[in-house]
Homo-oligomer: A and B are copies of this chain.
Amino acid sequence: ADAGLAARLAHAIDNKTKPRGSLGVLETLAHQIGLVQRTTAPAIEAPAILVFAGDHGVVAEGISAFPQDVTWQMVENFLAGGAAINVFAAQNGCTLQVVDAGVAHDFGPRDGLTDRKIAHGTRNFAVEPAMTPGQCTQARGAGAALVDALPGNVIGFGEMGIGNTTAAAALMHKLTGIPAAACVGAGTGLAPDGVLRKGRVIEAAAARHAGVTEPLDVLATFGGFEIAMMAGAMLRAAERRMVLLIDGFIVTSALLVAARLQPAILDYCVFAHCSNEHGHRQMLEALGGKPLLQLDLRLGEGTGSALALPLVHAAVNFLNRMATFASAQVSEKS
């Protein structure tokens, strides 16, 4: 059935009024979305970006350029509509849901904030596991349940969490074997000596937790609540045959965990953007991901996914709306 569908999709794409292959990666994307939705006439319905926020005990090691309070302050900024992701999601017709996965701050009941707080930040993985196995399970389950409540068929992932490039780099190091020094970057703007320290913190923690190798154990030991919640959400979204928009270093680290648990998830993933965060390109390569955009962004929040959404629409639209050589009576290649 899938081979038949793939052939029908290729035929539909090749017969549009354009030289064969001339829409480049949009053709690949249209083909992929057709397979995900099991149709030659795919449709994008109610795209949503979920931004997961969480704090990280590892900030005690001095691995971030910004103070931890920025996590909750930026959540407030999301709720007030003043962050980059608010602007880009609104522009491109994408709903935005802000989730407290584990911020070290009491927001109280707040309109527009989805409270799924696991705890007030993780523990410091330089000293002890970031979370308990139970907390990790709870976070993944909460992510899956959020996906079940979505009406649409495209989900983008975003995150906010001071210190979370350190957690993501640790996951990358443990799950790919790439040296810690190649996994760490400047994050929000760390100076070179800080980046070196970040690498040493990860190396020391990896040595301390050397026996931890199973993906879920690695996630619990080094991850963050927002990362675990995203991993759970991603797995459920693929089960529901949604298109997953993947951007950014931290979002991609959640996918790295999810793909170790369920490799077929990659069939559902559209890689939105290759970040300027050092290590992201290698992380994408480890997943075989080819990003649509390279805009030198290094902001997170799901901004790359929001910005790539028009290209996803373009892929679906050309497949549904362009004339064929026959219908338009255009001569084919001689």
Spell out A's residues near B (CB within 8 Å).
Answer: 16-26, 65-67, 69-70, 73-74, 76-77, 80, 82-84, 86-88, 91-92, 188-189, 276, 292-299, 303, 307, 310-311, 313-314, 317-318, 321-323, 327-334
Contacts and interface: CB of A to CB of B under 8 A. Distances in A.
B20 A80 contact: no
A71 to B, nearest CB: 10
Contacts of A76: 328-329
- How many of these chains are in the complex? 2
B24 A329 contact: no
Given A16-B84, A76-B329, A87-B322, 14 more contacts: A17-B74, A19-B298, A24-B295, A24-B296, A26-B295, A26-B297, A77-B330, A80-B323, A83-B322, A91-B313, A91-B314, A92-B310, A292-B295, A307-B311
3 shortest interchain CB distances as A-B pairs? A82-B323, A24-B296, A22-B299
Nearest to A189: B19
21 contacts: A18-B83, A18-B299, A19-B189, A23-B299, A23-B303, A24-B276, A66-B332, A67-B334, A77-B323, A80-B323, A82-B321, A82-B327, A86-B322, A87-B318, A88-B317, A88-B318, A91-B310, A188-B333, A189-B333, A292-B295, A294-B294
Nearest to A299: B22
Task: Find the residue from A82, A292, A294, A307 having the highest chain B CB count within 10 A.
Answer: A82
A183 to B, nearest CB: 19
B19 A188 contact: yes
A22 B303 CA distance: 11
A314 B16 CA distance: 30
Contacts of A18: 83-84, 299
Contacts of A88: 314, 317-318
Contact of A321 (B87, B294, B296): B87
Which interface residue of A21, A65, A310, A332 has the most chain B CB atoms within 10 A? A310
Contacts of A334: 65-67
A120 B262 CA distance: 60
Contacts of A330: 70, 73-74, 77
Contacts of A22: 188-189, 297-299
A17 B328 contact: no
Contacts of A293: 293
Given A24-B295, A276-B24, A65 B189 contact: no
Nearest to A324: B82
A86 B17 CA distance: 12
Contacts of A276: 24
Contacts of A298: 19, 21-22, 24
Nearest to A313: B91
Contacts of A314: 87-88, 91, 307
